[in-house]
Structure 1
């Protein structure tokens, strides 16, 4: 029978070879992704345990709540991943490349391992969406009024951004016809 150290080494070798077989020559930090998934799962389980321990009733979100949460998740995801003001959060994990749209930055993920995985998470609005939506859900459990206020505010900002884009498009169209 193998010793625990030999079993760990054997498992490590198998995981390493599977990661190489999956990624080929690409730098895919699977171990770091696994760590991020573990962090997310731990946060969800801790939230569920705290809700149960405090006997929080599960909310029954209606269509309006889901709409506000979706708009807020979208808007906060864009703010975290693309906004110039939040670039200090991403700076340890990304490199500034330029702008990619109105009030949005184009950044390249840098580093390897956990640094790269966190950079990919923080610079991708789609990737941050799950974490943000989960945070909003936790907020509806523990601070429903404050969470609803925050989601309403972020939703209003999303609608305002849409109006900015619509106005700019109308101005471009009017300029093209004159």
Structure 2
């Protein structure tokens, strides 16, 4: 048996033993982990090649700005109706799931499209990718990254304001 045949046999065995017949996209998820690792490594290599020194620490204000920005951008990509065209090749619309958010299901089960569908509909999953991008960007171009983070942080603050306003209005009118 050749090496590719052995790897394929091993992968099929892992799929059967792990998923118990469920269509879990282990191969696609492994590819996503590989892409994440490759992109992160490429970013680190690019930073190293630029000669830009790594910071000893990130100031607390910047860390909070990037944290809130990551939260808001991950929700925007994963749940916002406006970004649904980006998710459409991998998902199907199922309704709304909250204020200005959509509920979607993964279109294909098993394989790389399933893995991408899981990634693009999961704000928790996207946060790692987006957070890594924000941090690498902050090291390379702190001012521009603070600006992008600020935009998403302002949007998150506006979201909170919308919920507070709706609650106050509901309490006042009894609706």
Q: TM-score range by the shorter chain?
A: over 0.9
Query: 2:91 matched to 1:94?
Result: yes
Please give the secondary structure, in 2, of the residue aligned with 1:98.
strand
Q: Aligned partners of 1:15, 1:113: CA distance in 2, in Å?
A: 12
Tell me the residue number matched to 1:166: 164
The residue number in structure 1 matching 2:107 is 110
CA distance in 2, matches of 1:165, 1:114: 37
**Aligned match of 2:120:** 122
Q: Does 1:33 align with 2:29?
A: yes
Q: Which of the pair has more CA radius of gyration?
A: 1
SS, match of residue 18 in structure 1: helix
Q: Which residues of structure 2 form unaligned runs of 5+?
A: none
How far apart are residue 34 of structure 1 and its match? Answer: 0.4
- For the pair 1:157 / 2:163, whether they are aligned, the reply is no
Q: Structure 1, residues 23-55: CA drift from partner, whole Å, max 9, x if none?
A: 011110000000000000001111111111111
Question: Cα RMSD between the aligned structures?
Answer: 1.3
The equivalent residue for 2:45 is: 49
Which of 1 and 2 has higher RCO (CA within 8 Å, sep 6+)? 2
Aligned position for 1:82: 79
How far apart, in 2, do the equivalents of 1:6 and 1:101 lie?
Answer: 51
Aligned residues: 173
TM-score w.r.t. structure 1 length?
Answer: 0.93
